[in-house]
Amino acid sequence: MNEIASFCDQVGASIDDVRNGIALDPRIGSGFLSAGIGYGGSCLPKDLKALTHLRTTEGIESDLFKSVVKVNNKQRLLPLDALRKHFGGRLDGIKIGVLGLSFKPNTDDIREAPSIDLIRALVDDGAEVSAYDPQAIHLAERVLPSSVRLEQSLLACAKRARALVLVTEWPEIVEADWGEIASVVDPPMILFDGRNVLDPQLMTELGFQYQGIGRGRPGSVRSRVVQY
């Protein structure tokens, strides 16, 4: 789905419509058809590495497994690439708010979390990074660069940021008062939805320059959130 989402971005199509169409086939369903910023946690990354190693030791090529890992690693840095394009190069001195640190909602687990690699890359690119997570801050502060501001509230994280990146789809983030958030963000108010969980039209109406994954080119919002 991540590869198809990338293709959608190139041609201006909607991954939401593609997902909806594929899910009409009862043999497939919609449960695992989400494009996003990448997987994490302790299980799937470890299992893929183990399968790849086992096949290699048996003399069997593991092109598919290697490609899955490669695509996942690429997904983690999509926000960095998008922000560089928006700001015309490096992100020196630009405040970026990262929303969500754990690899999935309702846990403080940051093992293999996409947020960690992304934040490190943003800091290396010169950005001033603030971050918020309802549960994972105490663990994240041990592994993130000391320059990262770990905030206790979503509004504090967003305040004076010129761009926001939604990494973990916590209900506290997705269901927040985005009008209030918009009121504290500085122009150009870029919003990268790394989980495709926000309503593009609503975000645009609030003044954000919205970009999802596989939801068309930036500035050409054509899709809607599909409910299942």
Active centre residues (catalytic): 43
Which residues are registered as beta bridge partners of 128?
Answer: 95
- Closest to 146 measured CA to CA, from 120, 181, 111, 175: 120
Distance CA(4)–CA(16), nearest Å, equals 11
Which residues are registered as beta bridge partners of 99?
Answer: 132, 166
Distance CA(89)–CA(32), nearest Å, equals 35
**Contact call for residues 109 and 136 (beta carbons, < 8 A):** yes
**Contact call for residues 12 and 217 (beta carbons, < 8 A):** yes
Q: Report CA-CA distances (Å) from 150 to 94, 145, 157, 203.
A: 16, 11, 8, 24
Amino acid at 193: D
